[in-house]
């Protein structure tokens, strides 16, 4: 991924978009490694992701926008391009539960997750040893009902100082304010312990157990001002049975949360997500 440029496009659907993109890349000496597209017929929107080999491509971060502008203007495109380097910097907010943080740190250490992690922030000190073992700065920012604005201001300052590109809530059990979210629009990824929308509240597995469900799920989504209602990135489920206890459901749910959150982070890092109408187009 570090050797490719990823071009993301959203615009009104029209004839000739794919041909125009392909021609532009070829005319500038580029090799189109991968292309995916989708048309939302209900809203008349077109979406595309193009991966371009950087070696031999005649344009770069300083020259691309000016060259691309005539094509973008012709089709009314909203667009962005990511060059692979520098790699994205991921900040992590976490509470007391360790399973999602441990998974992300393992994937990072193994090279599976190509990001830099300059900072982990928590409202509790419990997981400081995990950060220390990974060689990552760990900051404790306690929060209470009367200190939330000050706490969020401090957290935002820490993230800014660490030059964080996006934020992952690895079971950070705090509701973020609109002010906080506005600093990272569609760049805060949360993991929710349900197949949304279902079993809202603090004891989803107990509710699922009481209902005798045969399936539980997990949902990863971008954070917006609407609680747990942001654009969904990834979801998955696991089957259960009458033999499962509450502890069994918690264990299965945590396994699922790790996988679904990691999947969402991968998609974001690889620039495979476009957002429209509070929905995501995911080029997986």
Domain range for 17? 4-82
Q: Which residue has the tokens 């189109």?
A: 32
Q: In the annotation, is 228 catalytic?
A: yes
d(CA 68, CA 70): 6
Residue 73 to residues 47, 69, 78, 198, Cα–Cα distance (Å): 16, 6, 9, 42
CA–CA gap between residue 22 and residue 7 (Å, rounded):
12
Give the model's confidence band at 175: pLDDT under 50 very low, under 70 low, under 90 confident, else very high. very high
Of 65, 82, 99, which marks where a domain is finished? 82
Is 101:113 a contact under the CB 8 Å cutoff?
no
CATH code at position 69: 3.30.70.260
pLDDT of residue 278: 85
- Say what the pLDDT of residue 229 is: 81
> Residue 154 corresponds to which tokens in the numbers above?
């401090």
Contact 251, 17 (CB under 8 A): no
70 and 116 assigned to the same domain: no
Query: pTM for the whole thing?
Result: 0.91
Nearest C-alpha neighbor of 7 from the set 43, 50, 38, 37: 50
Q: Given 30, 52, 82, which residue is the final one in a domain? A: 82
Give the separation between CA 191 and CA 95, rounded to whole angstroms.
13
Distance between CA atoms of 85 and 69, rounded to whole angstroms?
22
Residue 184 reports pLDDT greater than 70: yes
Are 19 and 127 within one domain? Answer: no
Q: How confident is the model at residue 277 (pLDDT cuts 50, 70, 90)?
A: confident
Judge if 195 and 63 occupy the same domain.
Answer: no
Task: Let me know whether 60 and 111 are in one domain.
Answer: no
Sequence length of the chain is 284
My answer on whether 122 and 259 are in the same domain is yes
Q: How many CA atoms lie within 13 A of 144 on its CB side?
A: 2
Query: If pLDDT is split at 50, 70 and 90, which confidence band does 206 have?
Result: confident
> Which member of 114, 228, 248, 255 is catalytic?
228
**pLDDT above 60 (res 196):** no
Q: What is the pLDDT of residue 167?
A: 98
Rg (CA), the chain: 21
Interatomic CA distance for residues 218 and 232, integer angstroms: 11
Q: How many domains does the chain have?
A: 2
The whole-number pLDDT of residue 205 equals 73
Q: Would you state the pLDDT for residue 132?
A: 97
């Amino acid at each position: 991924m570090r050797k490719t440029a990823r071009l993301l496009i959203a615009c009104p659907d029209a004839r000739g978009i794919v041909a125009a993109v392909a021609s532009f890349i070829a005319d500038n000496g580029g090799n189109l490694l991968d292309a995916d597209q989708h048309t939302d017929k209900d809203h008349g929107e077109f979406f595309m992701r193009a991966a371009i080999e950087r070696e031999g491509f005649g344009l770069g971060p300083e020259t691309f926008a000016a060259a691309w502008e005539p094509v973008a203007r012709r089709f009314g495109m909203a667009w962005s391009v990511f060059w692979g380097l520098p790699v994205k910097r991921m900040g992590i907010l976490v509470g007391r539960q360790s399973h999602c943080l441990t998974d992300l740190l393992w994937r990072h250490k193994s090279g599976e997750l190509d990001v830099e992690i300059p900072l982990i922030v928590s409202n509790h000190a419990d997981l400081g040893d995990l950060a220390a073992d990974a060689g990552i700065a760990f900051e404790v920012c306690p929060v209470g009902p009367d200190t939330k604005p000050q706490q969020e201001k401090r957290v935002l300052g820490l993230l800014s100082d660490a030059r964080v590109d996006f934020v992952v809530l690895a079971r950070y059990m705090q509701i973020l304010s609109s002010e906080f979210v506005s600093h990272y629009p569609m760049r805060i990824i949360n993991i929710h312990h349900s197949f949304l929308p279902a079993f809202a509240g603090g004891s989803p597995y107990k509710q699922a157990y009481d209902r005798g469900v045969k399936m539980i799920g997990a949902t990863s989504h971008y954070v917006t001002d609407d609680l747990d209602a942001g654009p969904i990135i990834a979801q998955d489920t696991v089957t259960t049975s009458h033999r499962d206890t509450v502890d069994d459901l918690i264990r299965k749910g945590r396994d699922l949360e790790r996988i679904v959150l990691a999947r969402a982070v991968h998609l974001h890092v690889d620039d495979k997500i476009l957002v429209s109408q509070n929905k995501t187009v995911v080029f997986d």
